[in-house]
Amino acid sequence: MRGVRTVAVTAVVAMALAAPSSWAQPKKLVFWTHWEQNPEFNKFYETRGKDFGQKTGYEVQVVTVPYQGYEAKYLAALMGKSGAPDIFMGMTHHWCGQYDFCDKMPADLARTWGENLPKYMLNVGKWKGTRYGIPIEHGNFQQMYIDAELFKKAGLDPDKPPKTLDDWLAAMKKLTVLDAKGEPTQVGFALRHKGHPVGITDKFLPFAHAFGARMLSPNLEKATGFANSAEMVAALQFYSDLVNKHKVASTAFPTPEDAFGQKRAATIFRESWFFGWVKKNAPDVAFKVYALPCGKTCPGAGNLFPWTNMVAKSSPHKQAAWDFMKFISNAKDDLDQHQAQGILPVWTANLDSAYVKSRPDYQSTQEMLRQPVPPEYYHPKSNELATAFGEAVVAALYGKGQPKPLLDEAAAKMDRILRD
Amino acid sequence: MDRQRRAGLLFVLPAVVYFGGVFLVPLVESVIGSFYRTVPGGLSQFVGTRLYVKVLTDPTFWQAVGNTLSLLVMSVPVTVVVALAVALGLHRLRSLEARSAWAAMYFLPFSVSLVAAALVWQWIYDPVYGVLNHALAGLGVPPLKWLQSLDLVRPSLAAVNVWARLGFDTMIFLAALQAIPAEYYEAAAIDGASAWQALRRITLPLLNPQIVMVAILELIFNFKIFDTVYATTQGGPAGASQTVIMLLYDTAFKYFRLGDASVMAVFVFVSLLLVTLLQWRLFRRQVEY
């Protein structure tokens, strides 16, 4: 019996010695992203992670979390700490503001980004003046995509897009085709009317801004007087009239992107990534991209979802994570990564690169950036606020009420959220 | 403790540990969490019953409760009655092969992931390309906006629920029907009972435990409905299909208000517990012949 035990112990010791030691294996930085529609962009982290690994012993493993429900997974992991990623993508004002999951960016790296971002993006990635996140998407603002063929068919010149909302509405009317019962079979504008109210708010805001309205006060502390201002009421009236009065947009078409891709809608307002989407999913659509039409003012380059990369405060590899971020924080990597996926790069040095100049949205992007910077709503409760506001927008679209009382109710609710 | 008792305890221990870990601990955590609010920065602050007052006076919450109850009223009775009818029909089939084949067909939807099923139904309901509108057009019915209409969205989702749950309930009823001794029906026939009388006096009373159980299961399932709504409408249009669990999910994971979400979880638990107990007390009768 004793002999058997001795053999067993020897075998275990031998196996332990023969096994590769854990410190000889490359260490991993785990990177979570929910940009499932951008696989090439995500792969870049792993590719460059291998180069980084040769110098430091750390490689990068990218985990793509499905967009639907990503918040729940991130929250569970970041609260649980042990299963949390080292680097993750999200909105700074949520994960660093509402929660305290982020590590502050080292000063030298923050300076690098401060010196190389386009002006309108300087606040993206900051919370209360401190930089936590690295902005990853330039051109994350809506522009006007038009179907050139449908424009021509309607007797419109696709090279002379409408510049004002009045001209735009007139063009939308010409582009809309109704059946015998008065229902549109083709609409001028592909309007977002379903899905989460946050997305509906996002798509409505350019109209609101063009009417000179803003959703919250400049210090983001008040909604009443802003979300229900006379300008906002006028903007929502205009927006709901597109569906209910002019019928140049329809709630019968489930998703605006599909309607545009299927040539059932002649225009859509979307971000820079959409040109890659159309090329891939609707290659027969001949489209052009223009700056959004202006109303009282121009809507400008703004967004509700400022995506950034952040380092988790609880990560045991924080230093290595920041070192990796520094490793890829340069103009060349910025261009390579974004070009691989067909997204606009972030660094100012790349904004006039050959790649960017060759894109169909080059001129329109320049034009959008020349417009005044629209209001920003980077508040920790932005999702909840945008939901309350979006509920009023969608209710108006579905004829559940008039814009003024709906917005009054929304503003009161938003103030309660802000006070709480 | 004697040996037999100890063995019994050991046998139930895995189930108790599992139930405790998966159900009881989160439940207790939810109850505790409902008294704390999360403040920016991620810290928790004890607020007593403030969150209960806040949630229970919020019109959005009651709209979600109303939507849930409306879905429940449209789904549960239809599912139970149709499942019972299907089970009675299957029970009358003499050929075992035919019965098995039909039963398998009814059961298939139950084995499909609810999210996948919801996506398929989304295509069926599509107002422009959907097969349903296409079929109705053949009958001269104008296209309907099934999931994009304030009036039709809940009945449309209820139909999906009925479709998804029908097979499971049918199987339970079929198994129970097969357990009813044939002698009862023979005796009833000798006494001159009609088919309707046999159904009312023999079948339904003997199926009572299964009917109560299925009704409770359907009630719980429909009260907790999330997958199909999340995958098809995300609570829209204009909040017309937002259920309590959808609101709970958004509150916890989109708005990061874990305390408010815990209040909703406690509300769902208490409501289901009360309704289940009430249903059990009112409808469960022991029947013996």
Does the distance separating the beta carbons of A420 and B54 come in below 8 Å? yes
User: What is the reported pLDDT for A22?
Assistant: 44
Q: Tell me, yes or no, if the two domains A23-135+304-370 and A143-301+375-419 fold the same way.
A: yes
Partners of residue A410 in chain B, C-beta under 8 Å: none
Quick one: which of A102, A304, A30, A377 has its CA closest to B42? Answer: A102
A143-301+375-419 placed in CATH 1.10.8.100:
no
The residue of B39, B115, B234, B245 whose CB has the most chain A CBs within 10 angstroms, and thus the best one to mutate to test that interface, is B234
pLDDT in tens, A135-191: 998 888 999 999 999 999 999 999 999 999 999 999 999 999 988 877 788 999 999
Chain A residues with CB-CB distance to B233 below 8 A: 194
Q: Which of A198, A264, A394 sits opposite B237 (nearest CB)?
A: A394
B263 token code pair: 């209040």
Tell me the residue range of the domain where B173 lies.
49-283
At residue A83, the pLDDT reads: 85
Rounded to a whole number of angstroms, the distance from the CA of A411 to the nearest CA of chain B is 14
Q: What is the pLDDT of residue A63?
A: 96
* CATH code of the domain in which B135 resides: 1.10.3720.10
pLDDT, greater one: B287 or B264: B264
Q: Is residue B246 part of a domain?
A: yes
Residue with tokens 């879905």: B71
- Which of B123, B126, B233, B255 should we substitute to test contact with A (largest number of A Cβ atoms within 10 Å)? B255
Residue B238 lies in a domain: yes
Cα–Cα distance, B254 to A70 (Å, whole number): 9
Query: If you average pLDDT over every residue of chain B, what do you get?
Result: 90
Structure confidence at residue A13 (pLDDT): 52
CA distance B40 to chain A (A): 4
Does the residue B113 lie in any domain? yes
Q: Is B234 on the interface with A (CB under 8 A)?
A: yes
Domain boundaries, chain A: 23-135+304-370, 143-301+375-419
- B285 confidence band (pLDDT: 50, 70, 90): low
| Residue A98 contacts B, CB cutoff 8 Å | yes
CA gap B252, A75 in Å, rounded: 9
Name which of B169, B97, B58 is nearest A391 in CA terms.
B58
Place of tokens 């040109």: A275
Cα B152 → chain centroid: 20
Q: Which CATH class is domain A23-135+304-370?
A: alpha beta
ipTM of this complex: 0.76
Q: Which of B38, B238, B253 sits opposite A395 (nearest CB)?
A: B238
pLDDT above 70 covers a percentage of chain B that reads 96
Question: 10 Å Cβ neighbour count for A152?
Answer: 12
Contact list in B for residue A193 (CB cut-off 8 A) is 148, 237
Position B164 confidence tier, pLDDT thresholds 50, 70, 90:
very high
β-bridge mates for residue B187, sequence order: none
B50 in contact with A, Cβ within 8 Å: no
Task: Report yes or no: A56 and A320 within 8 Å, Cβ to Cβ.
Answer: yes
Q: For chain B, say whether A254 makes contact (Cβ under 8 Å).
A: yes
* Residue B36 counted as domain residue: no
Indicate the number of domains in chain B. 1
Residue B244 lies in a domain: yes
B89 band by pLDDT with thresholds 50, 70 and 90 = very high
CB of A258 within 8 Å of any CB in chain B? no
What backbone torsions phi and psi does residue A216 show, to the nearest 5 degrees? -135, 165
Question: Prior bond to A206 cis, omega within 30?
Answer: no
Q: Given this model, what pLDDT does residue B167 score?
A: 93
Beta bridge mates, A138? A344
Tell me the pTM.
0.83
Contact state of B230 with A196 under an 8 Å Cβ cutoff: no
Q: Which comes out higher in pLDDT, residue B39 or B233?
A: B233
Q: What pLDDT is stored for residue A23 in this prediction?
A: 47
> What is the interface size between A and B, counted as CB pairs within 8 Å?
88
Q: Which of A254, A397, A398 is the closest to B126 by Cβ? A: A254
For residue B144, the chain A residue with the least C-alpha distance is A252
Residue B49: CB atoms within 10 Å: 11
pLDDT of residue A21: 45
Q: What is the percentage of chain B residues whose pLDDT exceeds 90?
A: 56
The verdict on residue B37 lying in a domain is: no
Judged against a pLDDT cut of 50, whether residue B275 lies above it is answered with: yes
Q: What is the pLDDT of residue A280?
A: 84
In a domain, B2, yes or no: no
d(CA B39, CA A92): 16
Q: Which residues of A touch B249 (CB under 8 A)?
A: 72
Q: Residue B4: inside a domain, yes or no? A: no
pLDDT at B288: 58
Amino acid B28: pLDDT: 93
* Among A68, A194, A395, beta carbon nearest to B148: A194
CB contacts of A94 in chain B (<8 Å) are 256
**Which parts of chain A have pLDDT scores under 50?**
1, 17, 20-23
**Best-predicted range by mean pLDDT (A81-85, B109-113, B153-157, B276-280):** B153-157
